[in-house]
Each structure stands twice: as structure tokens, then as C-alpha cells.
Structure 1
Amino acid sequence: MKEIDISQDRQSASVALELSSISKSYDGRRDAVKSVSLEVNHGEFLVLLGPSGSGKSTILRSIAGIERIASGRIDIFGKTVASTTMHTPPEARGISMVFQDYALWPHMSVLDNVAFALKRNKVDSKTRAIKAQETLSRVGLGDKGARFPSELSGGEQQRVALARALVGHSGLILFDEPLSNLDADLRERLRIEIATLTRESGATAVYITHDQSEAFALADKVGVLSRGELVQIGAPEDIYLSPANQFIARFTGLSGELKGVVRDKLGNGLVEVNIPGVTDNLVAKAMCTLRAGQNVVVAIRPGAIAIDPIGAIPTCNAWILDVAYRGRGYEHAVSIGDVVLQSVFSTKRFPRGSQISLGIDPIGALAFEDDEKSTSNSVEVESRFSADLDGVAS
């Protein structure tokens, strides 16, 4: 089948990628993806974030053409590549993909692996070799072209996979959790390289991960998935500061949660909350319409907590349960009432067992309606859904 002419379509299409109400299920079981719609602009870096079973891999594989969608439509640079009635195969979609397990040809040299994308596009051998060598140099492997993948470390193999994706200038690059198999230090260094080189190339990127810190560090735009649905999409700052529900707040990083009752509405989206046994004047940011007397759960971001603050209000007493040195300072586990707040940072070390005072910034204290049925352990709900699809797809 003829490959899509990306070079021309990139200039005329209003967006690089558009998903219109796509859905996908496996063997008649619960939907892995439920009517997901989104747009990715030219040169934009979109990260799809969610736990196992949330549908992010199925969406990526559907964009790539590895999976057939059950309904909806996928357009790449204005060309429809998938719908209820048609399916363009992966090799004809004109995209590049970086896999979790590198997916390099073991019998080819590093240089030939990178040049393969150009060979597929019928670029002459001399030009292929020059461009492949140039791209290897960009990812710091200019001297490794004659080696085979088995002779490289995991980080080097992932750089080769990135070079192969970049050399083809496809315009759209898909990343399938490419850093998950690497150790922490290498993961951070390669994350910077992926972000820098992808943006330098002008390519549009769709990247999937379950790691919120990785998502926020990479993305221009983050889409959060839960049980096959796109529950929120926006800039990383918007997702973090204004999560659409408790699941998103939990999944994107909390120190802990405090249950209480709204005492008063203060204006500017703030409410005063009574936390029994802790404080009667915790000021929090209302994440939905709340009224006085209503039960709430206040989700506390780690960065909102200050230990032993000077002049900070509201203030409540707490005790240090544990302390860990993190190089830049100390992370404390703090007991407040019957709740433990984790990852409470300070440049000062507070000894275990000591009583301290806490200040909580309202911007990072997010008040949600306390609905036990809908909010009881969202992560467990996600895990059960993941188990339902285990061995089928994620």
C-alpha cells in the first residue's frame, strides 16, 4: 500500500493528529478505550498519562495502526488513516515509533538500523549513510555505527531507537514508555535528550507513561486516562493545580488526604474546613461546588506543606514519624491526627518523634466532595480494571 505523503500534508493540515471518538474493546470484553477525542498541534509534545489498564497503550497502538479501532476516526496530518470502515496499515502511515524494548534489528549494525527508515523511503545508499551517521552523532553515538545492538548498553540502544525515529523526518513520533527499562539516572538524562532532540527536529510527539513526574517534565500538554476514558487534558500546570477529580489528584502526587466539614465559603474559590482533632480553620481550594456543612476530602500536595513555618496560617500540630535524607534536604513522614502525610520536605532535619507545627498553602490543599462510593480508593479500581484486561492489552 502506498505510504502517506507526510511532507505535503504537514504544510496544509490544521493539526498534526486528531482522534475523533475512538473506541476499542477486546473479545467483547469491557472497553479498553471509550470514545476518546483529542487534537495534537504541529510540533506539540503530548503525553498520555495513566496507570496500567487505563487505555494509553491501546490508543498509541491504534494511532500506529497496530490495533484496529472499533469506532471513531483517526486523522494524521489531515489524512484519515482509520475509521469504522477503513484501516491503513502501520507501514503506510508515515510515522515513527520508539518502543519500550528498543525493537532494533539484531543482525544489523547500529548504522544500518538507523538508515533502515530511509531505505524504506527509497533514499539512495550514500545519502542514507550520511544522514544516519549525522543522526547518530546528534544522540551521542557517532562512534558506535559499526557495532551491533547486543554490544550496546540499554541506554545506548534506546538512543539508537531515538535516532532511527528522528532520521526519517516523519513529522509524527510515537513513544511507547521508552524509559521504563532504564535506571533512574540514565532515565533522567535520556528524558532530556528525547525532549530536546524531538523539539529541535520540529516533530509532533505522542508519548505514553504511568510516571507523572516524567509526564510533567516532558509535555506541552498532558492527557490523563482512567479506565479507557480521557478524563482531563491540558498543560501540566493546569492538571496539577486544578485536577478534575480525586483520581487525577491522587495519581499526580499527594502527600495525603484529610477528611473534614466545610465551615464557611471564603470567596475566590476558597473554603474554610474543620478537620476534627486537627484544626478548625484549614483554608483549602474548592475543586467543585461546596456548601457549609458538607463533608469533604482535602487532598494535600507535598509542596503545599511547610514545617515549623514562620507566620504561616493555618497552623496545626503534628509529629515526625520518619525522616530521610534526599541530598537537597530532608523528606519527612508526619503524623497529623490519624493521618500520615508523606514526602514533607524541609532543608532542616527534624528528629523522629519531635512535635512540630505545620503550615498548609491553600493552593495545594484541594477540597473535593467526600463521596465514599465514587472516591474510595480510585487506584484499586484502576488495578481491578487492569486485571480484567491482563494478557489482552493495556
Structure 2
Amino acid sequence: MSADKISPAVRYWQDDETLECVSVIPEAPDVRTFCFAAPSGALFSYLPGQFLTLELPVPGGPLYRTYTISSSPSRPLSISVTVKAQPGSLGTRWMLDNLVPGMRIKAMGPAGHFTSHHHPAEKYLFISAGSGITPMMSMVTYMYDQGRIPDVVFVNCAKRPSDIIFRERLEHMSSRFEGIELRWVVEQGDRYQPWTGYQGMFNQLMLGLMAPDYLEREVFCCGPEPFMQAVRDALAGLGFDMDHYHQESFQPSLAAEDADATEGDVVPDEDTSAEVEFTVSGVSQKCTETDTILATARNAGLNIPSGCTFGVCGTCKIKKVSGQVHMVHNGGITDDDIADGYVLACCSHPIGKVEVEV
């Protein structure tokens, strides 16, 4: 009997199936890796560096939060996100306090364009801070699992050595492949544990010492916006070709905040009335042109899943049936989706009357 007759057909997870938490792994203070599997046994297909949007059943209603996948698609039996609870965080704190093996939650995705797959190169430079290490972990694990020795300089910045996420796993991969060079930077040392590596804030001098050939590398950066701005400034000041710089963030950048509001055929006017008809719900809601479709839906008592709320994650993508919207997004929707009539509710402003499938 041939192998294809006895092997079950390969099926991949779709986001209409819940995810089951199968393990919770402590990584660092207030940092956990949550590993999920598909209850049906389906495999996971995604690109290293992409993200998931989780629907978290917090008290008071579901909360949508976007997390980069920290596992690698080369290990398709499960999928993991590694999260860090920041002061005042709601969703991530709920996960750390409540999400345990056996629980099931809804998720959307995978999605995102921050991946080395879209930018093949002979040499890479990964620069991250804090939990921004997660997409880099996915990408470098994928390279490691391919068995071909890559050329990656992997830089991660943390407050102290004990806050470096995935340190042991990365050092293991680096010990096997000489093409994975690790560079840790900490702001301060841990008491009773001497630190002999880089200390201070990441800067141009460190960059030159860590990767003397940085001008030849494809750069991926992830972390808090001030950190990424510092990296951008350092590279630009050293003459780096910024066409080879890529970043991922779920916080609005200065460029996003300063986006030209006149983009498109019309400019929303706060004194001009508009109307959004939600065709599936049979609800119509008056608003102004400066209101987003997402805010208008909430005012009408409707729930459109959303994550970042400024056009990056794509969670709030909906189908526009008719009418015109003014949309200035930050990469959360493709040109093909727009051509098919989809818009992002969080950054789409109705012009006149608009009908959407909600």
C-alpha cells in the first residue's frame, strides 16, 4: 500500500476554528509564552514574523490584542505567542493571570508583512528591544531549521540580563551555527551576576562594533517606537540605504501621526454629516465625516473586532457594499483587498452614505 493511502490528508488551521492553549512557559519577569494547538489536529501555515490577533474574553466584553508569533512555521504542529505585561496592560495581564492549558480562545490571522521571506538577502541584521525579539526569534528559528548556515547578526536590548527573552535557546542555536552571531545590550547589570557584554543605550558606536559590515545587511527592527526611531536615526546618520530597513510595531509612529490628511479625492469635514448602514445587522447610524466606521459601529451598539486601531494589524477589515470612504492606513490592508471592496474600519471615514457588511 502506498504512503499516500495510509497518511491522513494534510489540513491547515483556519481562523474559524478556536485555538486550544496547550502550555504556558515562563520566559522572564512578566513574560510568558503561550503555545496553542488546533483541536482538530490541523497544522499551522504562516510566514516567520507574522502576527495573530487574539480575542480575549476579559470582563466587560471581548478585547482584541495583536501579538507577533514567536514560533516558527518550520514546526507546524503548534503556534506560539510570547507576551510581556506592561504597566496598565489589560489583555496581556489577563492572559498571564487567567489563560491556562485546556482553555480555548478565538484568533484571527496569521497576517502581516514583516518577514525576511519578502526580503531575501545573503546577510541580515536583526535589532530588537524587549518583547520586540519575538518576530526575530521566529525568523532565525526558521533559518536554523532549514539546516543551511545563515549570516545573521542578532542584536537584542533589554533592561538587565535576566530580562533577555529566549537567551538560552538563541545561545544554543548560535553554538551550533557560527553564522548566528548574538549581541546583547543591557541598561544595567543583575546583582550577583557579573555582566561583561555591551551596557548602556544602543548607539552608532555599538552598531559599528557589532556588525562592521552593516551597510551590506538587510535590517529588521522591532521594539518600542522611541527605540526604533533611535535605530533609524543611527542607520541614516551612517549612510545606510533605508530601502533595506524594515520595522514592525503595533504603536503609532511619528510618520503615522503626521500622515497627510488630504490623501485621496476628498477631505473629511467635521461639520458634514454622514451615515453608515450596517447591512448584516440591519442598523443605520448617523455620524460626521470625521468619525471612523469603527467608532460609528460602537455608537450603534455593534462590535467590529479591532486590534491596533490605526491601520496596521488589519483586524478590522470589512467589506464595503456601496459608498465612498476616506482611508489612510499603515499597511494593514493590501491593494488587492481594496480593489475587492474591503476597507479598514478603524481608519475609514464615511463620505456621505456608506453601506458595509457588518
User: The TM-score by the shorter chain falls in which range?
Assistant: under 0.3
More helix by share: 1
Using the size of structure 1 for normalisation, the TM-score is: 0.25
Which of these two proteins has the greater Rg computed from alpha carbons? Answer: 1
**Structure with higher RCO (Cα < 8 A, 6+ apart):** 1
Using the size of structure 2 for normalisation, the TM-score is: 0.27
